[in-house]
Structure 1
Amino acid sequence: MLAIFQKAFAHPLEELRSPTAVDESRAPKRPEEIMKGFHSLHPDNSFSANFGGGAALASCSDARPASFHHRRLFCSFDEIYCMYVGVLDNLSSLIRDYGLCKSTNDAQLVIEAYRTFRDRGPYPADQVVKDLAGTFAFVLYDNKAGTIFAALSSDGGVPLFWGLAADGSVVISDEVLVIKGSCGKSYAPFPPGCMFIVKGVEELRASNEQDKGDAAGRQ
């Protein structure tokens, strides 16, 4: 999966910016080049969507290695889009808690949990992730509210990386080769057990689910 959020929308994460001189052979690319490169890596079964608010999402069905058994899902509902990799151990119980149909998958559950946090507040965002038991990574984009919500489970069992494009856009992907080829040296692993939330054009928090009171310090 690949998510790109423009600088004015997501605000650049300065901790990801490499302090060393730019190596021209590994210079960060522009968002359109990154998206084109993703499709060239997966020419037969990748797809993407661009949004007027400064967001772009892309996914494919075969990016994971054969030994990686976690599910890869892309779902949408009411202009909320979720790219998800992993498996929820408590999916059945969460389906009952939220009153959803038995066929609900992991990504659909994440969307419903987010909608609950968004619409029935006060409902803290970290509670959404705290209720999820398993190994997972997801990037959710709410096109109506202009909200970004990304998270990685505390076990770090799913690879997830983020970095900066040439224009300062935030790039998130579970494919390290995509990130390395797109962001030069301005990238890092996404911290296990952390969330990154941006509401509209204002970042709200990047915090560790294990310590709700501490901000992750990424602005």
Structure 2
Amino acid sequence: MLAVFKNGVVDPPKELHSPASSKAVGKDKTPEETLKDCLASDPNNGVSLDFLNKVIMAYVPPRPLGMPHQRLFCSVDDVHCMFLGNLNNLCNLNKQYGLSKGGNEAMFVIEAYRTLRDRSPIPAHQVLKELEGSFAFVIYDHRSDTVFVALGADKAVNLFWGVAADGSVMISDDVSLIKASCRKSFAPFPPGCMYHSDRGLISFEHPMYKMKAMPRVDSEGAMCGAYFAVDAYSKVNSMPRVGSEANWATWG
């Protein structure tokens, strides 16, 4: 899966960008060229959505062999979700949220997002802690122009993000797609964390602590986009909100 966010839709941590990208030998691929590469892996079944040339989401179904985790793509009322992995407690979650027993993980994530965005005071980090299994997802809420990304804490699923030469932020489970356009300006998305386009990068495992960037050097000795991890010595100034505004739309 591949998501491309242009025109300031996503404001990534500044440490994600590496000056070494400008010194790399060869030509960077544009996000559009990388999109074509993504879809070319399965031209008959791959699909993409383009939102006013600001956001592009591309999905290629999993192959029978070589992909241990399922990939899902779902859209409901202008909320679009790409999901990778499996939720072991999906049946219980669907029952808890009053959803259809036949719904898949991507449908659950969308419906839970919409419910919490519109009606529930439950903070996002609490909801994500309830998800049992290996998962990564990217949500784009077209109506509010909101992006919400999360990666499970068990490190069984990988997710990468980076900054392309044109400033676009790219997110994918395929690191080769990210490298093609972002060169050195990329990093693994940190496990147990979530990113919200309004609130930035937050650990849902340890929401009371701030995130810190740590230098990352590749095999050639070049500085790359930083690793991000919880700073155990730096707490946030206040508790996360638990009122009516503390939902996925505002505290995610």
1:22 aligns with 2:23: yes
**Is the Cα–Cα contact under 8 Å of residues 197 and 205 in structure 1 kept in the other structure?**
yes
For 1:21-49, what per-residue CA distance to the aligned partner results, in whole angstroms no more than 9, with x for missing partners? Answer: 52132x54332222222223332321100
Match of 2:3 in 1: 3
- Secondary structure at the aligned position of 2:19 is classed as coil
| TM value normalised by structure 2 | 0.78
Match of 1:99 in 2: 98
Query: Which structure shows the bigger proportion of residues in helix conformation?
Result: 1
**Is the Cα–Cα contact under 8 Å of residues 162 and 188 in structure 1 kept in the other structure?**
yes
The Cα of 1:214 is off from its aligned counterpart by 2.3
**Further displaced range: 124-133 or 89-98:** 124-133
1:135 aligns with 2:134: yes
> Identity, % of aligned pairs?
47
- Secondary structure at the aligned position of 2:190 is classed as coil
Q: Which runs of 5+ in 1 are unaligned?
A: none
Tell me how far apart the structure 1 counterparts of residues 115 and 126 of structure 2 sit (CA, whole Å).
10
**Is the Cα–Cα contact under 8 Å of residues 11 and 200 in structure 2 kept in the other structure?**
no
For 1:88-116, what per-residue CA distance to the aligned partner results, in whole angstroms no more than 9, with x for missing partners? Answer: 01111111100111101111111111112
Tell me how far apart the structure 2 counterparts of residues 105 and 181 of structure 1 sit (CA, whole Å).
32
Q: Which has the higher contact order (CA 8 A, sep 6+)?
A: 1
**Is the Cα–Cα contact under 8 Å of residues 53 and 146 in structure 1 kept in the other structure?**
no
Distance 1:116 1:132, change over 3 A: same
Distance 1:42 1:216, change over 3 A: farther
1:205 aligns with 2:165: no
Of structures 1 and 2, the larger Rg is shown by 2
Give the number of aligned pairs. 212
Aligned 1:84-95 pairs, distance under 5 A: 84-95=83-94
Tell me how far apart the structure 2 counterparts of residues 209 and 186 of structure 1 sit (CA, whole Å).
24
The Cα of 1:126 is off from its aligned counterpart by 1.6
Match of 1:70 in 2: 69
**Further displaced range: 164-173 or 209-218:** 209-218
Match of 1:151 in 2: 150
The one-letter amino acid of 1:204's match is: R
The one-letter amino acid of 2:179's match is: K
